[in-house]
Structure 1
Amino acid sequence: MPHTFTLPNVRAEAASLWRLAWPVLIGQLATVGMAVADVAMTGHASAAELAAVSLGASIWSMVLVSVSGTMMAINSVVAHEVGAGAYGKIPHSVRQSLWKALGIGLIAMLLANLATLLFDHLNMDAAVAARASLFVHIISFGMPAFAAYRTLYGYSTSINQTKPVMVIAIIGLLFNIVMNWMLIFGKFGLPQMGGIGCAVSTALCMWLMLGAMLVWVRIAPAYKNTYPFHEWDGPCWAEIKSMLRLGLPIGVTYFAEVSAFGAVSLLVARFGVNEVSANQIALNFSSLVFMVPVSFGIGLITRVGQAIGEGNPERARFTAWVGVAMSLGFAVLSATLIALFRHEIARAYTSDAAVQELTAHLLLFAAIFQLSDATQVATSCAIRGYKVTRPPMKIQLLAFWGFALPIGYILGLAPSWFPLSPAAPMASAGFWIGLVLGLTVAALLLSWYLNRLSLQRLRPA
C-alpha cells in the first residue's frame, strides 16, 4: 500500500494502530489504576495517611517508570526482528532481557530504599515521613518481578500480542483493589494498616502479574514459534550491554519527566498536608489520562520498528505521524473534559473540602498540558521505533531539568536570591506552570527531531 497522506491511507493506518493499541491502553489503565486505587482509597482513610502514601509514591513512581523505560529496549529489538522475519532470534533476545531484568530489578530495589533518606531532609511531619519510608521499603519487594514482567510485556506487544497484557493487567487491578480494601481498612480479621496496606498489596500484585504472564506465554498458541523457554542461556554480557545502551537512555528519559513531577511532590511538602494531597491527586489523575497517548506510543514502537526492520522507511514515517496525530486528537478531548469536570474529579478522590478546591485548581494546569504531553510521548516513542534513544533523552533532560523544574522552583518557592521571583510563593500552582512550559519545550523539540530523523532515513532508499 502506498504511504501517502491521503484520507483512506490515514484511516487504514489509524485502524491498524488502534487494533494494536487499545488492548495496551486497557492494560495501561489497569496498571495505573492500581496507583489511582492506592491514592483514592487511602484518601478516605485520613489526610495524614494520604500524605504518607503520596510521598512514598513519589519515590516509587520515579524508580518504577525508570525501570519500565530501561526494559523497553526489548520492544525495539523484537519489533525489528519481526520486521526482518528473524523469528529464530527472538527467544534468545527475550532470555537475555530477562537476565538484564534481574539485575535492573535488584538495583532499583536498592535505590528506592536509599531514596527514602531524602525524607529526613524535608521540612515535614516526622510521623508522615516515617510512614512514607515504610511504604517504600515494603513496596520495593515487587520491583524484581516488575522488571521481569516488563520484558515479557515488551516481547508480547512486539509480536502483536497485546490482549494478554490487557487481561493480566485487569486481573492485577482487581486483586489490588480487593487487597487494598482488606488491608487499609482491616477487613476479615486482617490488621488495619492504612496506607501501608497499599504497599503490601502492590508488591504482591507485581509477583502475581509476572506469574500470570509466564503461564500465558507458556500455554497460548501465538507464542509457540518464539517461545523463549525451550532452551536455557546464561547471561551474554555483550548482548546485555547492547540492550542497556538502547534501554538506559529510555530509562533516563522516563526518569527526567517523572522525576520532575516527583520533585514537585517533594518540594511542595513544606506547604502542608493539603498541598501535598492535592498535588498528588492531580498528578495521579493526569497519569491515568496519560495512558492513552502512552498506549499509542507503545503501538508506534512496534509499528515503526517493524517497518524499519523490513526496510521500509516510507511506511515508518507515515506510521509515526499518523500516531502523533491520533495522540494529539485525544489530547484535545481530554483537555476539554478535565477542564469541565475538575471539581467532580476532585470529589471522587477525597472528601476534604480544602483539598478538593486546591485539586480542582491544579487540574486546570493538567488540562492545559494535555496537548504538549501527548505530543512529546508519541514523538519520543516513534523515534525509539527507529532504535534511536539518546537524542530524546537529551531533549527530555533539557526540557524538564533545564526549564520545568527551575521555573517551577522560582514560581513555587519565590527564593529571595532570584530578582524576578514573585512577591509570594505560588506553591503547587507555580510548579505546575513550570511543568506546562517544560512539556511544551519537549513537544516542540521532539517533533522537530522526529521529522528530521524520518526524512534522513528516506534518503538512502
Structure 2
Amino acid sequence: MNFSTYTKEFNYNLRLAYPIIIGMLGHTVVGIVDNAMVGQLGPKELAAVSLGNSFVFIAMSLGIGFSTAITPIVAEADGENSIEKGKSAFHNGLFLCTLLGVILFLLIFFSKPIISFMGQPEEVVNLAKPYLDIVAFSLIPLIMFQAYKQFADGKSETKYSMWATILGNIVNVVINYFLIFGIWIFPELGIVGAAIGTITSRIVMLGFMHYMMIKKPKFHPYFEKFSWDEISKSMIKKIINLGTPSALQMFFEVALFTGAIWLCGIIGTTSQAANQIALSLASLTFMFAMGLSVAAMIRVGNQKGLQDYKKLRIVAVSIFLLAMLLEVLFALIFVVFHKLLPLPFLDLDQAIYLKDNLEVVAIASNLLLVAALFQISDGLQVVVLGALRGLQDVKIPMYITFVAYWIIGFPISIYLGLYTELKAVGVWLGLLAGLTAAALFLFYRFNTITKKLIQQNN
C-alpha cells in the first residue's frame, strides 16, 4: 500500500477527532488556568495546587480510564445497528461511573493524611489540604460526565462534550477570577477559590451534556426505561472486564507523572513548581494525541463490528501517522520557544519572589527540551492504546504499560532525579524512557493482532 492509502483517511479522522481534541484541551485548560492564576500568588501556592492535583489526577485516571470501556462497546453496537446493546452499555456504564466517582472521592478524602508523610515542604502541605477536599468531590460529576461523553463518542457524536467543556472553562475562569483574588464583593480565597471554580465547572458540564443529549431525537431510545431494571449482570461484567484494565493502563501512566511531581517536591519547591509548568504545557499538546486516540477507538470499534479487518488496519495506521506528524510539530515548538513558554505562569514583577521565580523558569525551560522528545513517544503510545481498546484488547496492554512505566521508566527517574546532578531533568528523562518503551511494545502488539485477524478472515 502506498502512503496515499493512509493520508486520504486524514480528513475524516480530523473531522471526527477535532471536537474530542477541543473538549480534552478544555479539561487541560481548566488546570492551566488554575496554575496560571494561582502562580500569581507565589511558588508555594503553585506547588500546593500541584501536590493536591497529584492525588486527584491518580483517581481521575482510574475513573476516566474505566469510562473508556463504554465507547468501544457502543461503537461496535453502532456498527451492528443494535440499539438495545448500545442502550445497555450506556445505562450500565453510567451506573458504574457514578458509583466509581463516589468511591474515588471517599478514598481521597480518607487518605488525605498521607500528604504529611511524603517529604513535601510543610507550608505546601498546609495549603494543599483544603484545596484537595473540594477538588476531590468534583470527581463525582466529572466521572458521570465521562459516561455521557464516552457513550456519545461511541455514537460518533463528538461535539456535545466539546461544547460542554468550553462552557465549563468559561465558568471556571469567571469563578477563579472573583474568588482567587477577592474581586468586587467576593472574598479572597486563594487556591480554595480555584477549587470552587473547578467543582462548579464540572457540575455545569454534566448538566449541559444531559440537557443536549435528551433534546436530540437520535438519543431518545437510549433514555427510555432509565431505571434499576435496566441493570444487567452480563453488561456490568463486560464493562468491568474492559474498563478495569483500561483504568489501570491510564493509572500506570498518570501515576508515573504523579511520581515525577512527588520526586520534584523532594528535590525542592522550585523544582516542583517548574515540573507543574512543564507538565501543564506537555499535557496541552498531549490532548491532540488523546483526541486522535478516541477517534482510533471509535473507528476501530466500528470496523470490528463490521468485521472488516483490512480497513480496520488502514484506519488505525492512518491515525498513528497523523498523530506522529502533529507531535513532531509540537516538539519543534517546544525546542524553539522553551525559554518563553514558562513565563506566563509566574509574576516576575514580584520582587519578593523574583529569585525563586527565575529559578523556576530556568528549570521549566530545560524540562521542555526533554518534553519535546517524549511528545513523539507519548503521542504514539496513546493512539495505539486507543486502537487496541477499539479491538477490545486491554489485558496485555495493561501489563505492557506497567512494565514500561514502572519497571523501566520510574526507576530511571528516581536514580537520575535524586542521585545525580540532573535533578528535575533526570526525573523527566525517566519519563521519556518509559513512554518510548510503551510506544514500541504497544505498536508491536497492535501489529501482531491485526495481521493475525486479517489472515484468519481471508
Partner of 1:228: 223
Partner of 1:20: 16
**Cα offset, 1:236, TM superposition:** 2.6
Q: Is 1:409 aligned with 2:414? A: yes
Partner of 1:96: 92
Match runs of 1:4-19 below 5 Å: 4-5=1-2, 7=4, 9-19=5-15
Partner of 1:293: 289
Partner of 1:353: 358
Q: Is the 8 A contact 1:90 1:228 kept in 2?
A: no
Aligned equivalents of 1:276 and 1:322: distance in 2?
38
**Cα offset, 1:373, TM superposition:** 0.6
Partner of 2:309: 313
Tell me how large the CA RMSD over aligned residues is.
1.4
**Cα offset, 1:117, TM superposition:** 2.7
Aligned equivalents of 1:393 and 1:254: distance in 2?
9
**Cα offset, 1:116, TM superposition:** 2.6
| 1:348-371 CA-partner distances (Å, limit 9, x unpaired) | 111322211111111111001011
Partner of 2:274: 278
**Cα offset, 1:24, TM superposition:** 0.8
Aligned equivalents of 2:111 and 2:33: distance in 1?
24
Q: For residue 378 of structure 2, what is the amino acid of its counterpart?
A: D
User: Mind listing any 5+ residue stretches in structure 1 that lack a counterpart?
Assistant: 415-421
| 1:118-152 CA-partner distances (Å, limit 9, x unpaired) | 31112233232022122111111111111111111
Instruction: Give the total of aligned pairs.
Output: 447
Q: For residue 134 of structure 1, what is the amino acid of its counterpart?
A: P
In structure 2, do the counterparts of structure 1 residues 230 and 188 end up closer, same or farther at CA, with 3 Å as the change threshold? farther
**Cα offset, 1:293, TM superposition:** 0.5
**Which of residues 394, 397, 418 is equivalent to 1:392?**
397
**Cα offset, 1:232, TM superposition:** 2.3
Which region of structure 1 is more displaced relative to structure 2, 202-211 or 288-297? 202-211
Which region of structure 1 is more displaced relative to structure 2, 113-122 or 393-402? 113-122
Q: Is the 8 A contact 2:13 2:292 kept in 1?
A: yes
Match runs of 1:12-411 below 5 Å: 12-224=8-220, 226-234=221-229, 235-351=231-347, 352-411=357-416
In structure 2, do the counterparts of structure 1 residues 115 and 257 end up closer, same or farther at CA, with 3 Å as the change threshold? farther
Aligned equivalents of 1:114 and 1:440: distance in 2?
35
Other structure's SS at 2:340 match? helix
| 1:43-75 CA-partner distances (Å, limit 9, x unpaired) | 011111111101111111121122101111000
User: Mind listing any 5+ residue stretches in structure 2 that lack a counterpart?
Assistant: 348-356
In structure 2, do the counterparts of structure 1 residues 392 and 183 end up closer, same or farther at CA, with 3 Å as the change threshold? same
Q: Is the 8 A contact 2:83 2:222 kept in 1?
A: no
Other structure's SS at 1:344 match? coil
Aligned equivalents of 1:5 and 1:69: distance in 2?
35
**Cα offset, 1:197, TM superposition:** 1.3
Q: For residue 19 of structure 1, what is the amino acid of its counterpart?
A: R
| 1:394-451 CA-partner distances (Å, limit 9, x unpaired) | 111101101111011011111xxxxxxx4xx432111101011111100110110010
Aligned equivalents of 1:6 and 1:363: distance in 2?
32
Partner of 2:353: none
In structure 2, do the counterparts of structure 1 residues 81 and 188 end up closer, same or farther at CA, with 3 Å as the change threshold? same
Q: Is the 8 A contact 2:342 2:365 kept in 1?
A: yes
Q: Is the 8 A contact 1:5 1:318 kept in 2?
A: no
Q: For residue 395 of structure 1, what is the amino acid of its counterpart?
A: I
Q: For residue 283 of structure 1, what is the amino acid of its counterpart?
A: L
Aligned equivalents of 1:407 and 1:378: distance in 2?
25
| 1:147-197 CA-partner distances (Å, limit 9, x unpaired) | 111111011111111111111110001111111111110112221111121
**Cα offset, 1:272, TM superposition:** 2.1
Q: For residue 205 of structure 1, what is the amino acid of its counterpart?
A: S
Q: Is the 8 A contact 1:275 1:358 kept in 2?
A: yes
Q: Is the 8 A contact 1:339 1:363 kept in 2?
A: yes
Aligned equivalents of 1:126 and 1:83: distance in 2?
55
Q: For residue 141 of structure 2, what is the amino acid of its counterpart?
A: A
Aligned equivalents of 1:47 and 1:330: distance in 2?
32
Aligned equivalents of 1:115 and 1:399: distance in 2?
27
Other structure's SS at 1:342 match? coil
Q: Is the 8 A contact 1:59 1:115 kept in 2?
A: no
**Cα offset, 1:5, TM superposition:** 4.5
Identity %: 29
Q: For residue 386 of structure 2, what is the amino acid of its counterpart?
A: C
Aligned equivalents of 1:201 and 1:22: distance in 2?
26
| 1:242-269 CA-partner distances (Å, limit 9, x unpaired) | 2111011111000101101101111221
Aligned equivalents of 1:115 and 1:276: distance in 2?
21
Aligned equivalents of 2:224 and 2:370: distance in 1?
47
Aligned equivalents of 1:228 and 1:29: distance in 2?
28
In structure 2, do the counterparts of structure 1 residues 6 and 290 end up closer, same or farther at CA, with 3 Å as the change threshold? closer
| 1:198-254 CA-partner distances (Å, limit 9, x unpaired) | 111111211111111110011123423x43244424433332122111011111000
In structure 2, do the counterparts of structure 1 residues 6 and 441 end up closer, same or farther at CA, with 3 Å as the change threshold? closer
Q: Is the 8 A contact 2:267 2:418 kept in 1?
A: no
Partner of 2:351: none
**Cα offset, 1:18, TM superposition:** 0.9
Partner of 1:417: none
Q: For residue 125 of structure 2, what is the amino acid of its counterpart?
A: A
